[in-house]
Amino acid sequence: MVGGLRPHGRGLAPASGAGRRRLSARRPGGRALPNAGSWDIAPAVPKEGEGFRMPVSFDNAAPPFGQFAGRAKWLLAAKAAVTLAVVVWLLRRVDWLLAVQRLEQADKGWLFAGFLLVCGGLLVTAIRWQGACAAVNLSLPFGQAVHHSWVGQFFGQVLPAGVGVDAVRGWLAYRSGHAADAVVASLLLDRLAGLLGLLLLDLVAAVALLHDAAPDFALAGLLAGGVMVGGFGGLLLLNRVPLPARIRLRALDTVQAMLKGAEKGVATLAAARTLALSVLVQMLFVGAVLLLARGLGAPIGIQAGFAVVPIALTLASLPISLNGWGIREGAMVAGLHAQGIGTDDAFLVSVLLGTALLIGSLPGGVLWLVKPPEPRPSARR
């Protein structure tokens, strides 16, 4: 592997001997971090016409991330605290006798129809990622897109925010033989398209809510969506930032190369289709909420659904709770209550939506067991 990295103790070493450069993780003041080890970084020299590529191999590598384990535990604990606090606050406001009655008398046909729409949204999400891959010239077969996306959804739902959906599907795509730089670029583009799709529907919702009883709810959704879209958009423009020569490491060059690939993909027809699919995904989730509410005997109007659900999903996307639980329910209750829906019904609808997402992701666990990742073949675009 020319210009690549290979495992080297606790760090990574270049596959060839030329251009070796050792980096050690240190605290301010020059003291080395404990258990940090070091990385040997070598320049990646792409062949003519090859384009940018990721000069790193993830196979059997063990980057020195042990020093961040403590921070991750505290972050996980903080998310759990937020989720627990919101759920407890909601539970104290729900009439459980009425809620149980609603579930017992629910029309199971409408509930199942809502569940099917949720599964449809998960399928379209996989197709959207395939479109994002096409935008960065990565040929991802439909079967792989569905497999990797659904497995990622499964781990994203069942694990307490320890492993992200993007991390799992990206790793699976890499293990399938695709170039790591193109995989990362496709994930960035897919995530940006998903957030833009939500933000577009948030704007539609804001038009209704700003003149309704919940202007603060609309502004919160717009602010959250704008911050996330701005963050990802700014990340894509990071490759345009001129860096001083003294800090231009090969690792930073690699990151900027990946971002450049994602930025180029934004201005393609495939990216436009990806954005359209993002809007379709959110519309399917809105439709699922309407059907679930109808099944409970508490129908929600189409206007109310499009005014509340996209903003609730946007707020649930913020990385401040466990997989969106608690935030999604609280936002749904607040938004639907402003539309004249009772707290009990709004809470049940939001819980059913979260449950449908959880159950809908279970096929990913089956796919993981039936077709586990295989040893990585040679990289391909």
Surface-to-core class of residue 203, CB atoms within 10 Å of its CB (0-12 exposed, 13-18 middle, 19+ buried): middle
- Name the pTM for this structure: 0.73
Q: Specify the pLDDT at position 228.
A: 76
Which of 50-54, 105-109, 151-155, 313-317 bottoms out in mean pLDDT, i.e. has the lowest? 50-54
Q: Which residue intervals of 237-301 are DSSP H helices? A: 250-266, 269-295
Q: Specify the pLDDT at position 132.
A: 92
Residue 216 confidence (pLDDT) above 80: no
Segment 55-114, tens digit of pLDDT: 444 444 444 334 445 566 777 788 888 888 888 888 888 887 888 888 889 999 999 999
Q: Which residue has the higher pLDDT, 10 or 275?
A: 275
Segment 344-368, tens digit of pLDDT: 888 999 999 999 999 999 999 999 9
For CA atoms 239, 245, 246, 249, the dihedral sign is: positive
Segment 126-149, tens digit of pLDDT: 999 999 999 888 999 999 999 999
- How far apart CA 84 and CA 78 sit, in angstroms, is 10
Instruction: Give yes or no for a contact between 150 and 370, defined as CB atoms under 8 angstroms apart.
Output: no
Which of 51-55, 127-131, 146-150, 153-157 bottoms out in mean pLDDT, i.e. has the lowest? 51-55
For residue 323, give the nearest of 198, 170, 165 by alpha carbon.
165
Residue 23, beta-bridge partner list = 39
DSSP symbol at 46: P
- How far apart CA 199 and CA 222 sit, in angstroms, is 7
306 band by pLDDT with thresholds 50, 70 and 90: confident
Q: Which residue intervals of the chain are DSSP H helices? A: 69-91, 96-104, 108-135, 142-158, 165-175, 180-209, 215-236, 250-266, 269-295, 302-316, 327-338, 343-370
Give every CB contact of residue 259 below 8 A, 6+ residues apart in sequence. Answer: 185, 188, 235, 236, 237, 238, 239
Three-state DSSP string of 289-317: HHHHHHHCCCCCCHHHHHHHHHHHHHHHC
Q: Specify the pLDDT at position 26.
A: 46
- How far apart CA 61 and CA 182 sit, in angstroms, is 19
